[in-house]
Chain A
């Protein structure tokens, strides 16, 4: 199956700093990228949906100025957690889709710890 490569797999950062997470589609063009967040022992919740070349659409309750999403190319989407705080510590995972008729694929996930 298609591959979405997500990096880093884990990161520890200091409170107040920013962290960038990258998702690359290796063998297909990801027209759409979904970004999910999973707090410990909870389910995955959609944060935002981005389409290549367009502004991301954020789910209710997700701060767009805090979670910056860039999807400038068909093979790369990034999520930047700005001014991170301990409550942002979570598992972040992307899911790339080529079009509405094909399956979408998850990245490996990034475990963010803010200290």
Chain B
């Protein structure tokens, strides 16, 4: 069975601080996809990244970076120099096969960035 664990439920930081959101996953599949989504108070899910299990390269996109380590089954997300607009709930998710299979979500982590 697939499982995604986001151990942190809520984090509060001050603007400009760096923050790392942890994600640990479980799957028996050799091919799988990992995702991060941002859910602002308005509710919609904002896609941040999709990474397949064969690509362990870390990725950086502006202030966002992701560290994928298969050895520890982790896919952590770091926000550098956080901003108030980063305040949201962040979900890590996992899917099998081609990435369009059903997603299994972690419980989410609420990030509050204070000015």
Contact = CB atoms under 8 A, between A and B. Distances in A.
Q: Do A and B come from one complex?
A: yes
Interface of A: 1, 32, 34, 42-46, 49, 91, 93, 95, 97-106, 108-109, 111
Contacts of B98: 99-102
B55 interface: no
Nearest to B95: A104
9 A-B pairs with the lowest CB-CB distances in the bound complex, closest first: A100-B98, A97-B100, A104-B100, A106-B45, A43-B107, A43-B105, A108-B44, A109-B43, A44-B105
Interface of B: 43-45, 47, 50, 91, 97-108
Given A93-B45, A106-B45, A111-B43, A101 B105 contact: no
A98 B100 CA distance: 8
Contacts of B105: 43-45
A110 B97 CA distance: 28
A1 B49 CA distance: 13
A49 B105 CA distance: 16
A99 B101 CA distance: 9
Contacts of A44: 45, 91, 103, 105
Contacts of B44: 106, 108-109
Contacts of A104: 99-100
A43 B100 contact: no
Given A34-B102, A46-B102, A103-B100, 18 more contacts: A34-B103, A42-B107, A43-B91, A43-B106, A43-B107, A44-B45, A91-B43, A99-B100, A100-B98, A100-B99, A100-B100, A101-B100, A103-B50, A103-B99, A105-B47, A106-B47, A108-B43, A108-B44
Contacts of A43: 91, 105-108
Contacts of A42: 107-108
A76 to B, nearest CB: 18
